[in-house]
Amino acid sequence: MKQAAFITITNARLVTPDGLREGSLRMEEGRIAALGDMPGEGETVDAGGKLVAPGLVDLGVFAIDKPAFHFGGITRAALMPDQSPPLDLPSRVSYIAKSGKPDFWVHPLAAATRGLEGKEIAEIALMREAGARGIATGRQWISDSGAMLRLLQYAAMLDMPVIAHAEDAALVGSAVATAGEYATRRGLPSAPAEAEAIAIARDLALAEMAGARLHFRQVTTRAGLDLVRKAKAAGQQVTAGVTPAHFMLSDLATAEFRTFARLSPPLRSEDDRHAVREAISDGTIDVVSSGHDPRGPEDKRLPFSDAEPGMAGAETLLAMVLSLVRDEVIDISRAFELVATNPARLLGVEAGSLSQGYEADIAIVDADKPWVVQSAMMAATAGNTPFDGQPTQGRVTALWKGGVPVEL
């Protein structure tokens, strides 16, 4: 499906890399042809003074639910290799890379090791040729330092980013909560928050040795964020991400053993939650992703310790990030940098920005539109959201993928 005729969006507040400005945007042959003051030629869409922004790029999801992603204004997603079977062969990567089109693009992340077992390096170069946009360790930390160093050296040679999970596996074990008062009171198996910082410190040291680009998919503790901040200041090629749960919620959300709040990494202390917000504000965190991982009743309607981690996050990603704008933690340009520009840059795709020549993945956003998150009404295959019942603001009212309108 290709764009048939050029489209001009007028009366818009354009979210550009240089800030917010009023004007129009023209889409032609699937690309952004022009921005600025121009007449409404061709097919004209009046934005009514609403935000016109790049389609979101979701870095590191575990399942593809197109209706849920479209609802959230997401036009591209990087799929984690934790599939069944894992994305550890070129044929599997190639199949995923072709899925979803034309109205949604999936960018597969190659499994770092065969079977995601953390031992033997997978055929990454062949998977890159098949369409992989990065390398991921999956839900697990690679505990073998030798294997991790070889992976980082290989990735540096191929100029591919490594997307790492940051929790020391030996310290975490079967823990389902962060060690502290609340985990102790509830009798939950727990692990120290320091498990994250220890994993980050080792991986940073190995990445520096290898000269590799390293992205920590989720950094959720003050100690871990301090390490990333120092590494960036020293000039290391490191970036960090987080999901909305870790800047919106703390381990208080597990008070009633609500398994929708059973996440990986687990929810942290209130101090760590504030540290995440500070890191988003000062630029230490580069990406906010949904962590989309829908889980049905068979995985969630269980005792807290037995429930599977994960949340359905695609539909709430934009609204939760816009809450940071309302709280004056960040401005609107920074918000879309976190959910679109930076993840697109990490994946090496010409999207995620209102820039001339980039792909016309465009969203019209009503930043003030109120709505209530309802797990039973979600478009995802399962509605396991820790934000169930929460009033929020911000909805996508129109969406284009490559200049072609997407039905919401």
- All structural domains of the chain, each given as residue ranges with its CATH number in brackets, are 55-353 (3.20.20.140)
Q: Do 401 and 103 contact (CB within 8 A), yes or no?
A: yes
The mean pLDDT value of the chain amounts to 95
Q: Which two tokens stand for residue 270?
A: 């209130």
The residue among 193, 188, 201 whose CA lies nearest residue 171 is: 193
* Strand pairing report for 404-406 and 56-61: unpaired
Prior bond of 108 cis (ω within 30°): no
pLDDT in tens, 268-307: 999 999 999 999 999 999 999 999 999 999 999 999 999 9
Q: Provide the residue-wise pLDDT of the chain in tens; the chain has 408 residues.
A: 677 778 999 999 999 988 999 999 999 999 999 999 887 678 999 999 999 999 999 999 999 999 999 999 999 999 999 999 999 999 999 999 999 889 999 999 999 999 999 999 999 999 999 999 999 999 999 999 999 999 999 999 999 999 999 999 999 999 999 999 889 988 999 999 999 999 999 999 999 999 999 999 999 999 999 999 999 999 999 999 999 999 999 999 987 778 999 999 999 999 999 999 999 999 999 999 999 999 999 999 999 999 999 999 999 999 999 999 999 999 999 999 999 999 999 999 999 999 999 999 999 999 999 999 999 999 999 999 999 999 999 999 999 999 999 998
User: Amino acid identity, residue 248?
Assistant: M
